[in-house]
Amino acid sequence: MKKIPVSVGIDYSMSGVQVCVQDMQGKLLRNKKCPDTWLAVAGIVGKDEAVQVAVIEACTGAADLADELRAHAGWPMQLAMPGIVKKMKLNPDKTDWQDAHVLCDLGRVKYVPRVWLAPQRVRELRLVTRYRQQLVNQRRAAKLRMGAILREQRVLVTGRRWSKPWQQAMAEHKDLSEQGRWVLRQHVQTVVKLSAEIAQVEAHLEAIGADDWMVRELMTYKGIGLVTACVMRAEIGSFERFKSAKSLSRYCALSPRNASSGARQADAGVIQAGNRIVRTILIEAAHRLVRYEPRWKALAADLRARGKHGNVIAVAVANRWIRGLYHNGMQLERAAA
């Protein structure tokens, strides 16, 4: 018996999953709520129906469910970008029933604003690298609070900032008030604790990234260390998901933004859309590449001679480096597969 081709739209939540099923002509077959398991979701589709496309909105937990449906039910899963789907809906009301129906329609007419579904290995690495970034942000915040206290009490400490001698001189400074000294001591303890935790995370990254081909390959470049390689692997994931080097550069938020109008041609810095985590790590890497690699050192010198600011130079180097890496990465990825 020939199976009926159907489209499936899934609106995910921890309390339950709304599943809409349509035939490929747009006829609604069912729109039901079920438990948050792949078996329950797959059970909404009849035995005489063949899923041609299944769409789920990208949100926390959706990737795991999509992975399970792809692996166990054999569904061709697609992740949809929530912000664009909301604009395409053209309806101020929001219900799970409507959301599932819209996703089902978008899949049926092949108009899904797709998000890359990262494999579990990459998602797990991303979990660890983002945890490290959270710790780094907390440490930075503690240091900023310490600096604010010093400014408030008009205390100037000489030496290399945040070094052990600097911290010792800060703690013993004669102009600090009693309570200011006490609060600063608490912040120092926080910084020490967070630094130890960050070191533990980096040791864990070394263990889980040791057998990853992309991490190993990235670390062969001068100026690219373990953390940079792991963050790039976690956030970029796969070079093949990008259509071009320019697409990868835009994802990394490194492409220049055009602000032209009529006869006026101008740039307005880099684009603001994109992955800020990758941009930060690549700009940091660019500063090291300029020190170690003759090619990037020459480019930086040329831009500096033309009056470009150091930040502009770092972005330019990062932009060109990641575009070049795209082509090498494509070849290596195909060889690794």
Lowest-confidence segment of 30-39, 82-91, 123-132 by average pLDDT: 82-91
Q: With bands split at pLDDT 50, 70 and 90, how would you rate the model's confidence at 1? A: low
Out of 88, 115, 142, a domain closes at 115
pLDDT band, very low/low/confident/very high, at 267 (cuts 50, 70, 90): low
> Is residue 190 domain-shared with residue 254, that is, in the same domain?
no
Q: Check whether residue 234 and residue 150 sit in a common domain.
A: no
Domain count, the chain: 3
Q: Is the pLDDT of residue 9 over 70?
A: yes
> Tell me, what's the pLDDT at 176?
87
22 exposure class (CB count in 10 Å sphere: 0-12, 13-18, 19+): buried
Q: Is the pLDDT of residue 271 over 80?
A: no
- 182 and 227 part of one domain: no
Tell me how far apart the alpha carbons of residues 20 and 23 are, in angstroms, rounded to a whole number: 10
Q: 10 with 90, same domain?
A: yes
Q: What's the rounded mean pLDDT across residues 119-133?
A: 94
Could you tell me which residue, 168 or 325, shows the higher pLDDT? 325
61 and 106 belong to one structural domain: yes
* Mean pLDDT (whole number) for 2-30: 92
Same domain? For 184 and 206 the reply is yes
Whether 189 and 164 share a structural domain: yes
CB proximity list for 247: less than 8 A, separation 6 or greater: none
Say what the pLDDT of residue 259 is: 64
The domain containing residue 224 runs over which residues? 215-336
C-beta of residue 42 within 8 angstroms of C-beta of residue 73: yes
Q: Which of 173, 188, 210 is the last residue of a domain?
A: 210
* 163 and 199 belong to one structural domain: yes
The CA-atom distances, in angstroms, between 231 and each of 62, 200, 264, 276 are 22, 16, 39, 12
**Mean pLDDT over residues 76-101, rounded?**
89
Kindly state whether residues 201 and 275 are assigned to the same domain.
Answer: no
Average pLDDT, integer, range 3-9: 94
CATH no. for residue 101?
3.30.420.140
Mean pLDDT, the chain, rounded, equals: 89
What is the tens place of the pLDDT at every residue in 191-238?
A: 999 999 999 999 999 999 888 889 998 998 888 999 999 999 999 999
- 108 with 176, same domain? no
Among 83, 115, 147, where does a domain finish? Answer: 115
Residues 311 and 325 in one domain: yes
Q: Which pLDDT value is given to residue 51?
A: 95
Residues 221 and 321 in one domain: yes
